Every structure is written in C-alpha cells, then in structure tokens.
Amino acid sequence: MMNLHNFPDVLSVKDIQDILGIGTSKAYALAKSDAFHTVRVGPLIKIPKQSFLNWLTGSNN
C-alpha cells in the first residue's frame, strides 16, 4: 500500500484510485456509494482523508 502521509488532507477520486489500485470507473462508483463522506465542489468530488481512512480501516472514529 502507498504511504498515505504523502497525500493531501482532502483527496480526489484520482487519489482514491491510486491508493486502492483500482480503475477510474470503480473509484468513481466507490466515491458515489456513500461508503465515506464526500463533498461536491462543482463537478469535482472531494474526500476528507480522515473519512476515507476511517472507512479503509473499518474505524468509526
């Protein structure tokens, strides 16, 4: 797995794709699935890194 400390505090769908090693369509599907908190900024989807990490580790904190 990649070193997540190198990623910004607010992730993009491309970051999620790179971290998980998945394709673009799967990364967008995951971001739109409500698995973790996302924020829409115009056409962009932004993901707070802590929210993503909580989902990735199965933590509720």
Q: CATH number of the domain at 4-51, out of 1.10.10, 1.10.12, 3.90.105, 1.10.3470? A: 3.90.105
The amino acid at 44: L
Please report the beta strands in 1-61, taking only residues with DSSP state E, as ranges in sequence order.
10-12, 39-41, 44-48
Q: Give CA separation, 56 vs 23, 41, 42, 43, 59, in Å.
A: 17, 23, 26, 24, 8
Q: What is the mean pLDDT of residues 3-24?
A: 93
Biggest CA pair distance of the chain:
30
Q: Which is nearest to 33 in space by CA: 20, 5, 1?
A: 20
26 confidence band (pLDDT: 50, 70, 90): very high
The amino acid at 40: R
Q: What is the mean pLDDT of residues 1-15?
A: 87
pLDDT above 90 covers a percentage of the chain that reads 84
